[in-house]
């Protein structure tokens, strides 16, 4: 973890290349940008992998974090990481995947982070379109998509409008907010 309650704690990751955790540096950049929004917020970590982004949000004071992940090894890793940090409440883990969580989630949420496999272009478009067509985001809320730095996401997905792109090495963060 970068900062907060769980600062300097190491998280486990599943073996193999199926899960690509967000780098510490990129996670630091993300949370430096999101800092004013985190305390007490309702945070959603989609395609959660190790859970590092959502756990970082909890570490920095998020009120509740929803994790969505369907790969069994990654779900087990999220559970193990939360247990190792003695996190017993303030989170919901949906092991049936992103769509199930989003369809069951009642808004409003303040921050949505999504990080599907970089090669899964359809996941980006489908998830962002879903978020842009539902009333889940709180006023002033933000959706952040991590993706490959050479990939350009659309500037608009339904009501979501791209407001910023931050590139760092091979990765990028695209920020979206509700447009008019």
Could you tell me if residue 6 is inside a domain?
no
The pLDDT, as a whole number, for residue 1 is 43
Could you tell me if residue 162 is inside a domain?
no
CATH number at residue 141: 3.40.50.150
Task: Show pLDDT as tens, one digit a residue, over the chain (180 residues).
Answer: 445 666 555 655 556 545 556 678 898 999 999 999 999 999 999 999 999 999 999 999 999 999 999 999 999 999 999 999 999 999 999 999 999 999 999 879 999 999 998 788 889 999 999 999 999 999 999 999 999 999 999 999 999 999 999 999 999 999 999 986
Could you tell me if residue 88 is inside a domain?
yes
Query: What is the SS3 string spanning the chain?
Result: CCCCCCCCCCCCCCCCCCCCCCCHHHHHHHHHHHHHHHCCCEEEEECCCCCHHHHHHHHCCCCEEEEECCCHHHHHHHHHHHHHCCCCCCEEEECCCHHHHHHHCCCCEEEEEECCCCCCHHHHHHHHHHHHHCCCEEEEEEEEEEEECCCCCCCEECCEEEEEEEEECCEEEEEEEECC
Identify the domain containing residue 149 by its residue range.
24-116+123-154+169-178
């Amino acid at each position: 973890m970068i900062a907060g309650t769980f600062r300097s704690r190491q998280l486990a990751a599943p073996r193999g290349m199926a899960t690509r955790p967000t780098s510490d540096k990129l996670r630091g950049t993300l949370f430096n940008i999101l800092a004013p929004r985190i305390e007490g917020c309702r945070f959603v970590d989609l395609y959660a992998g190790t859970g590092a982004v959502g756990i970082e949000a909890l570490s920095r004071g998020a009120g509740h974090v929803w994790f969505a992940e369907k790969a069994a090894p990654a779900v087990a890793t999220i559970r193990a990481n939360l247990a190792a940090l003695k996190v017993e409440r303030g989170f919901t883990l949906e092991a049936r995947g992103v769509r199930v969580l989003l369809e069951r989630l009642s808004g409003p949420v303040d921050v949505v982070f999504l990080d599907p496999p970089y090669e899964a272009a359809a996941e980006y478009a489908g998830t962002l379109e879903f978020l842009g067509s539902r009333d889940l985001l709180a006023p002033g809320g933000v959706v952040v998509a991590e993706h490959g730095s050479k990939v350009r996401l659309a500037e608009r997905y339904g009501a979501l409008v791209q407001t910023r792109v931050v590139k760092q090495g091979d990765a990028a963060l695209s920020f979206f907010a509700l447009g008019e």
